[in-house]
Amino acid sequence: MSTTLEQLYEMQKSLDARIIKEKNLEGVDLLPNTVLALQVEIAELANEWRGFKHWSNDREPRTTRFREQLVTNDDGEQYIDQVPYNPLLEEYADCVSFFLQIARQKDLIEYMYVHEDAIEETREKGLDGGIGGALLECKYWLSKFYMETATDDKIEKVFGYRINDPAFNPEITRYNTVEEAVNAIDEATK
């Protein structure tokens, strides 16, 4: 049985709600942390893939490792055993989880689909730059998405415009030191 994207989205939504409640994060903007977390997970995914490590003699993906886990046998006895897992798959699943969190936070579920034409084109032509290039592009577009779609209230309050406003023509207050600018931002966001 397969799980649909909508089902994963709903599962992530429930998990996020539980975490927000348990950690008392109601009303907190979690997007910056979530974007950073996804970027870290993409890097961890790349590290388990290892294909970019041109200097290494060991460039094979990490698909099997072992970790200690408490196991119960048929007699009810518990012991610690070495249990196999796939670290590459775990990092991929973490990436999907944080991607779904961002989609939920920004209400982007309708944008989560890849057109069949794009999939076919990728199958035919491959990835530009290979897997490493694709991972770099993910990190680039994630940063671009965050920086360009953020409604940065601090900037708006201090400078009178939003970063993504194409028609801005601000009258910028000039500060003599970084400390003055930081203090102005802190004061404006109290």
Residues 34 and 109 reside in one and the same domain: yes
Q: Is 96 helix (H, G, I), strand (E, B) or coil?
A: helix
What is the reported pLDDT for 157?
56
> How many angstroms separate the CA atoms of 38 and 96, rounded?
9
Residues 129 and 110 reside in one and the same domain: yes
Residues 22 and 85 reside in one and the same domain: yes
What is the reported pLDDT for 28?
93
> How many angstroms separate the CA atoms of 47 and 145, rounded?
24
What is the reported pLDDT for 164?
47
Longest dimension (CA), the chain: 76
- Range of the structural domain that residue 179 is part of: 152-190
Per-residue pLDDT of the chain (190 residues; tens, 9 = 90+): 788 888 999 999 999 999 999 999 999 999 999 999 999 999 999 999 999 999 999 999 999 999 999 999 999 999 999 999 999 999 999 999 999 999 999 888 877 777 788 778 888 888 778 888 889 988 988 888 887 765 555 555 555 554 444 444 444 455 555 666 666 666 766 6
Residues composing the chain:
190
Identify the CA nearest to 37 among candidates 110, 105, 97. 97
Cα-Cα end-to-end distance for the chain: 51
Residues 39 and 79 reside in one and the same domain: yes
Number of Cβ atoms within 10 Å of the Cβ of 111: 8
Residues 29 and 115 reside in one and the same domain: yes
Residues 51 and 23 reside in one and the same domain: yes
Residues 169 and 107 reside in one and the same domain: no
Structural domain count of the chain = 2
What is the reported pLDDT for 119?
79
